[in-house]
Chains A and B, each alone.
Chain A
Amino acid sequence: MGRVAELERRQSAMELHVINSIQQSLDNNQPLSFQALASLRSLIINPATPDSTLSSVLDALTRSLQLNRDPVFLHHAVKLLSDLASHRPHLSPFALDLLRSDSLFSSASPRLVGESLSVLLSLASIGNDMDAARFVSLCLGPSVSVRQCLLRNAEKLVFRESVLLAVFLGFTRDPYPYVRKEALDGLVKLCKNGDFDDRDVIEGCYCRAVELLRDAENYVRSAAVRAVCEWGRLLVICSEDMNKQDSSDAVFIQLGCMVRDMSLDVRLEAFEALGKIGLVSEDILLQTLSKKVLGINKDKAYKPIEGLDISVSAVAGAYIHGLEDEFSEVRMSACYSLRTLTVFSLRFACEALNLMMDMLSDDSTVIRLQALDTIHHMATSDHLKVEKIHIHRFLSVLVDSSSVIRSMTRKILKLAKLPQFELFKLCIDGLLGNLEIYPQDEADVLSALFHFGRNHGKFTVHIIEEVAPEMEPASGGKLSFDSTRVAAFLVLAISAPLSHEKDVSAIPPRIFSYAVTWLGRISYGLSDIMNQEKLLAYLSECSRSSTISLADFKINEALLTVEGDASIPLCSKVDSPVSMPFWKDSGGISDYHHQEFLSLGKSAAHAEYELGEHSELRKYVNLIFKKVKDSWSLVELGCTTEACKGIRACKEEVASFTTESPGSFGAVAFTLQYLQVIEMLAKVWGHLRATKMLNPNGVGKLELLFAKLDRRLREISNRFIGLSKGEELQILDLVLVACLLRLSKVEICCCNAAMKLLSSTVAHVEYLHKEGSIEPSNFVTEVKKSLHDADSSSSSSSCQPLLFKKLLDSFSLQQFVLYGTPRSVHAELAVPGNDSENPLPFIPGIPASIPLAITLHNVLTESRLWVRISMGEESTQFVFLDLNLIRNKKRSINVVREFTFVAPFYRTPKAVSFTVRASLGLECFRENVDRVKVFGGPKCELTYLCPEKEIFLCKSTECKSKSAFT
């Protein structure tokens, strides 16, 4: 102890000495010596130095700054101040004030300004210190490093777009390449954030970027590629409709010129950019797959802008080159960008498939995977036409040593629809081969066979006829069901009745009974489609009669809804073992693509995934959200069906996610709900935004769609808790869009209600913005503004469909990024012991009591719950469920609450027996929309937390069994 005290004493003595000597020299108007500066620095970086000493250090520095103008000294002073600010946060305001002072930041020496600027920037504390004039004058100064630094941070020093545009565009002429690069990067950022509609400006920027594509420096060229891409897209947008296609083609070709650049980075950028250009003519797309200039493209020149003529031959074989590039990063990028382009042309997709088949034998696993992903993408957008020459190469991937690749291949097979039996048989053989070599894949192979069989009803029946002898019990009456091969055929067989084709009754019923003996294994494989009970029910149903009437069979309905719009997942708990381990690292895969996804995610918001057991799941889920965002661009282009198909594929994938780990259920349920909302939104959008007039039949359908959309939106906004403000805001954005969509169509609009909802939502959004101090998105600001305008202009706020239509243009789907773990609010409702055989007793005319066993998940105590009991179409009654009372009676657990509630049913009919349907609803506070209410019922719309439960009641005397509940 004594030693420590001694040390402390010594140190404070030293501090005193240093300070004193500095004070002395300052008092004598002498500049500080370097030695003094060094000791000051040691004081600053020593964490043990008390604050009082540091304050006097600060004073000393202030005084010496007034005294001394020696640039070397000032340089050191800046360094000291930056150290001080970073080591002692509470002293940093003083240090920063000094840095901003005239002697440093505003000094005449550009070097000093640069240094203090970079310190200020690194401490993220530059705000109003700079006005545009000062910024420009510093930029125009002779110091290159200051210029570069300023340009790089220009958007932090927020200025008007016009100033930034002028500065950036001007400095693309700078003789220093790094300044040119920063200027180009600045232009790219400006283009992404800004709002330009002056064609002259856009053309000017585009042309300048095109000029710099021929710069001598690699990094300038790659920046120029980005700039050409962004400004080119803007150029396309601002072109007249007639010229849109041509401009888009021209930009594509311009970028295509860069794929043969010698620099790896430039090539990477070029392919990435090619994928971003949406609308490209088929001729040009086909040209990218042929090194020889196609006849149709000969002498075809594009002229997007005066003086920028460009010939199609420039893109000749772009993708051929990209896919045989030496660097796997480039091949990857080419594969990826090809993916986005296959949507636009069937012919292109077919040609590209040839190349993809070659990529399946690439030596890098990541690229094989990306190639499969591209093929999968073609399949979901219905652009996959497999031919016989492909099928062998494709099936050879089924025996790939990497399990991820095999699983991806099967995923594609699940979607395949083959025209010939021969090909079908080859695929089946391939899957069987896979099963033989890798028995660990069994579950997924069975699932693949099921889907595959379902897609090819007739072929399946045909093949089952062929192999039927194999499946029969061997002689001696003993069932030799021990080979997985038989299991595979059984799965195939049972899939046939569920196909959409008619002539599928040829499967002998006994096969279904054989399948029953395999129930465990098969249901394990099919767990993403149906659970064991459903499967058993289905199998026994099928085995009973040779003519199956599937009309009344529930599975078929459910399966159809999976494709149409799945309201309720068939099995409440999806515990599938075949969850897609898509990007699960399987050994030495270099994670290039991973990084790319991360960087893509960043563009939506910073994607800093928190670590934890859900981070894996969250990553998959966020990948799904990214896909959704991608498909939205299709919706905007008018390809609703394709987009919906993509979303449905996502849904299937999400449904296959495992929900075993705690908390993952909510995330998966949320994702599914989100997908459903987007799908409905897409459908409505497609209906409304289509250019053709709404036909009268359509109105009814649209109403239906709207009703569904509203329900889904209600569910997503009320049935999940634990969402962050940002996440909530994104959902509210969707609500806004739904309102606007409704308002944009006179025929279906009930203006007042929708307007009310709109304004209440906007108010809520505003509240959230203030609360979380989040910058509102462009779209929201627009909506707010026009809402305000509408209010002020006419109090009646009559419908202005055109206004709302215009507003919709400013909407673009943001990528949803899931950070937290949303918890799903749901409930289970049961009447123990009640079924059609054991009904509850009642006396006609006298209220009956219905005992409900209720389990609530994640329901907050302040929420208002209603039990809705309805009998037929005509009579519905609501019973309020007071959660406070319940808590008093039963001990409640935080998340899950179980209790019994006896609900009265008042209007019992004069009948021997009847059924009622009961469900639990949650009142949605925000949506207090006027409507015809049942007296005494809820004031707001309800969101139902569980499926309806059918309850059987029977006249008391005729009750067969005495109920325990009376």
Chain B
Amino acid sequence: MAIDCLVLGAGQEVGKSCMVVSINGKRIMFDCGMHMGYTDSRRYPDFSLISKTGDFDNALTCVIVTHFHLDHIGALPYFTEVCGYKGPIYMTYPTKALAPLMLEDYRKNMDRRGEDEQFTSDHIAECMKKVIPVDLKQTVQVDKDLQIRAYYAGHVIGAAMFYAKVGDAAMVYTGDYNMTPDRHLGAAQIDRLQLDLLITESTYATTIRDSRYGREREFLKAVHNCVAAGGKVLIPTFALGRAQELCILLEDYWERMNLKVPIYFSAGLTIQANMYYKMLINWTSQKIKETYATHNAFDFKNVRNFDRSLINAPGPCVLFATPGMIVGGFSLEVFMQWAPSENNLVTLPGYCVAGTIGHKLMSGKPTKIDLDKDTQINVRCQIHQLSFSPHTDAKGIMDLVKFLSPKHAILVHGEKPKMATLKERIQSELGIQCYCPANNETVTIPSTHYVKADASGTFIRSCLNPNFKFSTRSSTDKSYLDSNKSKAVSRLSVSDDRATEGILVVEKGKKAKVIHQDEILHMLGEKKHEIQFAYCIPMPMARTEDLSSTSHMLCGFDKSTLISRLSMILSDELSEGNILDLGEELQVESFRVSVCSSDNCPHRLSSSLQNGSESVFFCCNWSVADEKLAWKIISIMKNSTL
């Protein structure tokens, strides 16, 4: 069995996340995003790779969308309404609520730019009707074999990581996630699962970020300094996510510093979004959830609605305006008015797409920006670059991979060289096989497959009862070898042998079966064989009388006397073992010794026959387990006289 992962987007790049995973006969599409950097066919994932015929309903079991960012959901209306996919789509409740806002906003902007429309408002509405919302940690049985479960991912409100399991194969697709909490969202949270595959984002594959307190402090300082000097602050942001986080931050600071400078939200989307946020408290961080009963953190006290007439009103203010990166719309309008004054401040997000005004402002500090042929903006205002990011950093990715310890990992949603570095780290530090495929490539990894087996009654009974054993595991510490002083390291360790007592039997034409080890002989109709060692050794006699022949000696001393003499010798010399005198025979554990009267004993070595000396032959036998002990006894016997 294998898991096939077809990367349709976000392979070695950021944008249009889309991944089709075939797992035990089920095909799941994770995310259906669009690329914001392209306007041609590269904008959407190449859906034809899923099904040549365009019969997506049969080709895919379901679509799962992790969160509402356009690079994760942007192509969904196109895929369902234009390409004609009609199967189930899963996303979390907040994503379902907020996705139409995002899509609609994008469609309008596209409209405004005069690009040809890929989908209409109706398409969005129709598409949303197909969506089945899920809750966190709710296990959804998609069909008989496939179950999925959402885990909290941080990042943006409603973002989730998805766990999918078909039969014995299980995997997690993280989408975008954040391992550290921010002002309004918690950190990603997932159980320790048995996974064959983990597909994780790797936006910051090599960056390690510092504590967020420092970032917040810088931002607040910049804003405070600006308003204290009577300047205006423009914060161009996307309507959802960052705006709320920064606003909570400012609100908190305003409260603590007792500031009265107005904070404005540009009308429209942001206000509507705030309304949703207020309802989606359950998806925010612990702190907001806790204080929500007394004060809803999204109920901003200092925030007012903005009116166009206020753009040139005197006095300081802070304004949140959409869209981010100053790509146009209201934020551009305000920017044109405020940029010429050096009192004012513009904060930019950490990442701006090339070609936007935001990008121009970030790369060097231009004094003039040409908007189009006729308009030119004088830029004298201060620029502050935010270093907030809702993505986890390299350490976070490593932490997650380490925590989940999957058998294989795939990196997506990142830049190629950085991903390669991270891939190396995962392989060398964690010992997990890791891949970072490019778009339209397929990665195949083996998956777990369990065989069902019957168990015999004896085995089950033995399994119910604990059967642990302690052993002192000995090993020789190699590092001591060079100092010529080999030191044995021993450690107490414990093992439970219940499972090892079972033996898997697969007979032709029958189901596999686990039986207890005691049953195996009976089942095979065989007998148990044991290996016995035997050795017949001579022991010299002390010369007590003038007797010369061995046979004489044997007459003089009967066997039991010899044995009891031997017993005395052994009990003097031997520290371990319990010596049993059985009359004609001595027994120490499995080691048995008796006087050998036959001259042609097969266990006798010819060389041990010595002329002239009077010896008694003892026949010894023992089993493998007591080999050490046996040789110890034999050496005692060799070195002593009766």
Contacts and interface: CB of A to CB of B under 8 A. Distances in A.
Interface stretch (B21-29, B142-150, B209-217): B209-217
A215 B194 CA distance: 11
B286 A173 contact: no
B475 interface: yes
A216 B194 CA distance: 9
B635 interface: no
Contacts of A291: 208-210, 393, 395
B492 A317 contact: no
B454 interface: no
A321 B212 CA distance: 10
Describe A's contact surface by its main secondary structure.
loop
B252 A321 contact: no
A261 interface: yes
Nearest to B471: A204
Interface string A210-241: 00001110000000000000000000000000
A292 B287 contact: no
Contact of B496 (A139, A173, A215): A173
B443 to A, nearest CB: 26
A206 to B, nearest CB: 10
Interface stretch (A11-19, A324-332, A711-719, A744-752): A324-332
B493 A207 contact: yes
Interface stretch (A26-34, A36-44, A98-106, A355-363): A355-363
B403 A260 contact: yes
Interface stretch (A48-56, A164-172, A956-964): A164-172
A937 to B, nearest CB: 64
Given A262-B192, A363-B252, A324 B494 contact: no
A727 B180 CA distance: 48
A208 B212 contact: no
Given A174-B496, A208-B494, A262 B211 contact: no
Nearest to B402: A260
A306 B180 contact: no
Interface string A172-216: 111000000000000000000000000011011101100000111
A317 B394 CA distance: 13
A327 B286 CA distance: 6
B191 A204 contact: no
Interface in B457-473: 461, 464-468, 470, 472
Contacts of A323: 211, 213
A200 B286 contact: no
A323 B211 CA distance: 9
Of the listed residues B179, B213, B402, the one surrounded by the most CB atoms of chain A closer than 10 A to its CB is B213
A305 interface: yes
Nearest to A174: B466
Contacts of B475: 306
A316 B211 CA distance: 13
Contacts of B333: none
Contacts of B209: 291
A223 B569 CA distance: 54
A306 B496 contact: no
Nearest to B490: A200
Contacts of A141: 465
B395 A317 contact: yes
Interface in A629-672: none
Interface stretch (B94-102, B121-129, B182-190): B182-190
B419 to A, nearest CB: 19
A89 to B, nearest CB: 38
Given A262-B403, A291-B210, A317-B395, A363 B287 contact: yes
Nearest to B256: A361
Nearest to A147: B466
Contacts, number: 105
A328 B190 contact: no
A953 B281 CA distance: 84
B395 A204 contact: no
A363 to B, nearest CB: 6
Contacts of A260: 179, 399, 402-403
B495 A324 contact: no
A204 B402 CA distance: 25
B301 interface: no
Contacts of B461: 142
Given A170-B466, A291-B209, A325-B181, A207 B491 contact: yes
Sorting the interface of chain A by its residue count into under 10, 10 to 19, 20 to 34 or 35 or more gives: 35 or more
B285 interface: yes
A216 B170 CA distance: 15
Contact of A292 (B188, B208, B477): B208
A170 B494 contact: yes
B395 A326 contact: no
Interface in A392-451: none
Nearest to B285: A326
Contacts of B472: 200
Contacts of A321: 180
B181 A204 contact: no
B495 A173 contact: yes
B258 to A, nearest CB: 9
Contacts of A358: 211, 213-214, 217
A323 B213 CA distance: 10
A260 B493 CA distance: 28
Given A320-B211, A326-B186, A326-B187, A204 B403 contact: no
B313 interface: no
A358 B402 CA distance: 29
Contact of B491 (A173, A214, A215, A306): A306
B489 interface: yes
Contacts of B181: 324-326
B491 A139 contact: no
Contacts of B256: 361
Nearest to B478: A306
A326 B180 CA distance: 8
A262 B287 contact: no
Interface of B: 179-181, 186-192, 194, 208-214, 217, 252, 256, 285-287, 393, 395, 399, 402-403, 405, 461, 464-468, 470, 472, 475, 477, 489-496
Given A169-B470, A173-B494, 12 more contacts: A140-B466, A141-B465, A166-B470, A169-B492, A173-B496, A174-B496, A200-B490, A208-B494, A262-B191, A305-B491, A361-B213, A363-B252
16 contacts: A142-B461, A147-B466, A169-B492, A171-B466, A203-B491, A207-B493, A291-B208, A321-B180, A324-B180, A324-B181, A326-B186, A326-B285, A328-B286, A358-B214, A361-B256, A364-B287
Interface of A: 139-142, 147, 166, 169-174, 200-201, 203-205, 207-208, 214-216, 260-262, 291-292, 305-306, 316-317, 320-321, 323-328, 355, 358, 361, 363-364
